[in-house]
Amino acid sequence: MPNVRVTDAGVYVEVGGEWVRVTDAGVYVELKRTWARATDAGVYTELAGEWARVTTAGVYIELELPPPDFYAVGDGHDVAIAGLDRLDPQPRNAGIRITRRQSSHSDEAHQDDAKFTVFEYSALGSVEEYQAVMAQWGLLTALENDVTATARNEDQNWTRFNGTVRRPRMNEDVRWQSFFPRNISIYMVDLEVAG
């Protein structure tokens, strides 16, 4: 999640791990759907459509962005919302699945183990497009990769999940028909809600 810092030397917005100085009053700095505005009246940050004033000098303010309502991915676990990249093309996803459900005979809730989800692409137009999709997931040269990705949870709310994605297996998770990749399935296993 992006940070804004106010110091005697100026106003700074964190972008990709680096601090960018906002130097002109009234200038907006776009930060992956988040805006920081410096004015004569102070520094403001937009938060879910509302402007919140940053008043404490030298304090890092973490913006609470809502999860995007589309599929996005970032390399590594616990990637902030602003660090996720929209998947293009957008896959299909049937939501969270479980490998095993342990029920209790008492009134306690059941326990779901080994949660996973599957991101599916019905067809891609070329080898290059297939490779671009694999690169988005960090699977172009790796067999598996730790990622943070958005998906709908059990209540159908968009949520960031940590997990491990695996490269599709030929003739099982991806098929080549008429020189085009079809029915591509990218499994994301060991799901946990991202921090």
**Three-state SS letters, the chain:** CCEEEEECCEEEEEECCEEEEECCCCCEEECCCCEEEEECCEEEEEECCEEEEECCCCCCEECCCCCCCCCEEEECCCCCHHHCEECCCCCEECCCEEEEEECCCCCCCCEEEEEEEEEEEEECCCHHHHHHHHHHCCCCCCCEEEEEEEEECCCCCEEEEEEEEECCCECCCEEEECCEEEEEEEEEEEEEECC
pLDDT of residue 57 exceeding 50, the answer is no
Averaged over 76-90, what is the pLDDT?
90
- Per-residue pLDDT, 142: 96
pLDDT of residue 43 exceeding 50, the answer is yes
- Per-residue pLDDT, 63: 46
Residue 195 pLDDT level (bands cut at 50, 70, 90): confident
Instruction: Look over the chain and give the mean of its residue pLDDT values, rounded to a whole number.
Output: 77
pTM of the complete model:
0.64
